[in-house]
Amino acid sequence: MGEPKNGWDGEFQEFMVGAWPRLLRTAYLLAGDQHAAEDLVQSAFERAFAAWGRVRRAEDRYAYVRQILVNQHARRFRRRPPELLVDAVPEAHSPEDGFARSDERAALVAALATLPPRQRQAVVLRHWEDLSDSQAAAAMGCSVGAVRSQAAKGIARLREAAAPKESKVMTHIGGAV
Amino acid sequence: MNTDPTNTDATNASGPQTDWVGLGLAQAVTEVRIGPVPVGAALAGGRRLRRRRRALVGALALSSAVVLAGGAVAGLHQVSDRGAAAAVIAPAAAGPTATAAVRDPLTPVRTVLAQGSTADGKQWKAWAALWPKADRERSMQQAQLVWQERHAADPELAAPTAEFVQQYWQPDEDVVNLYFTLDGVRLANDSTGSTPAPSSPHAGTAGSPAGVLLGHLGKGDTVAPVDLAVLQVGSEVGRIVVTWQDGSNYEPPLTALADSPAHWVAVPRPPGRTAKQWQFYDRNGTLLSTDPAGLLH
pLDDT, one tens digit per residue, over B168-217 is 777 888 999 999 898 888 888 788 877 888 887 766 654 445 667 776 54
Confidence check: pLDDT of B65 > 50: no
Contact yes or no for B89/B115 (Cβ under 8 A): yes
What pLDDT shows up at residue B277? 87
> pLDDT > 70: what percent of chain B?
67
Collapsed DSSP state (helix, strand, coil) of residue A159: helix
Residue B132 above 90 pLDDT?
Answer: yes
Note the pLDDT of residue B191.
82
CA distance readout (Å), B65 to A5, B47, B123, B160, B203: 5, 9, 32, 29, 22
Identify the pLDDT of residue A109.
Answer: 76
This complex has an ipTM of 0.74
Give yes or no for residue B278 having a pLDDT over 60: yes
Nearest beta carbon to residue A155 from set B18, B32, B37: B18
Q: B64 pLDDT exceeds 60?
A: no
Helical (H) or strand (E) element with B266: strand B263-268
Of B19, B25, B63, B231, which to mutate for an interface test with A (greatest number of A Cβ within 10 Å)? B25
pLDDT in tens, A13-54: 889 999 999 999 999 999 888 888 898 999 899 989 988 888
Q: What is the mean pLDDT of residues B63-76?
A: 27
Residues with Cβ within 8 Å of A173's Cβ and at least 6 positions away in sequence, in order, are B23
Greatest alpha-carbon pair distance for chain A in Å reads 65
The answer to whether B238 touches B284, Cβ cutoff 8 Å, is yes
- Cβ neighbourhood burial of B223 (10 Å; 0-12, 13-18, 19+): middle
β-sheet bridge partners, residue B12: none
Residues A96-145 have pLDDT tens digits of: 444 445 566 677 777 887 888 889 999 999 999 989 888 888 888 888 88
Q: Report H helices in chain B.
A: 16-28, 39-51, 136-153, 162-168
- Among chain B residues, the shortest Cα distance to A43 is held by B42
Of residues B30 and B296, which shows the higher confidence score? B30
Position A29: which residue type? L
- CA triplet B254, B258, B260: central angle to 5 degrees? 75
Mean pLDDT of all residues in B48-64:
45
In this predicted structure, the answer to whether residue B107 has a pLDDT above a threshold of 50 is: yes
Higher pLDDT, B101 or B160: B160
- Give the per-residue pLDDT at B72: 23
- Distance between A82 CA and the closest CA of chain B, angstroms: 19
Q: For residues B30 and B288, what is the distance between their CA atoms, to the nearest angstrom?
A: 54
Predicted local distance difference test score (pLDDT) of residue B130: 95
For A49, the closest of B32, B42, B164 (CB atoms) is B42
Separation of alpha carbons B184 and B77, rounded Å? 22
Q: Which residues in chain B are contacts of A134 at CB distance < 8 A?
A: 9, 11, 163
| Residue B84 in this model has a pLDDT that exceeds 80 | no
- Residue B30 is given by DSSP the state G
- Rounded-to-integer distance, Cα B142 and Cα B131, Å: 8
Q: Kindly list the residues from chain A whose CB atom is less than 8 angstroms away from the CB atom of residue B55.
A: 50-51
**Cβ(A84)–Cβ(A117) under 8 Å?**
no
For residues A45 and B47, the model is more confident at A45
Q: List pLDDT tens digits, range A1-19.
A: 344 445 677 888 889 999 9
**In terms of C-beta density within 10 A (0-12 exposed, 13-18 middle, 19 or more buried), how is residue A111 classed?**
buried
In the predicted model, what is the mean pLDDT of chain B?
Answer: 72
Q: Which of B27, B59, B61 sits opposite A99 (nearest CB)?
A: B27
Distance of CA A111 to the CA centre of its chain: 14
Looking at chain B, how many residues does it have?
297
Nearest to A19 by CA among A72, A53, A56: A56
- Looking at residue B88, what is its pLDDT? 39
**pLDDT in the model for residue B142:** 93
Smallest Cβ–Cβ distance between B42 and the set A45, A57, A127 belongs to A45
Q: What is the pLDDT of residues A57-82, one digit of tens each?
A: 888 899 999 999 998 887 776 544 33
Count of CB atoms situated within 10 Å of the CB of A4: 11
- CA nearest to B194 within chain A: A54
Q: Is residue B46 within 8 Å of A56, Cβ to Cβ?
A: no
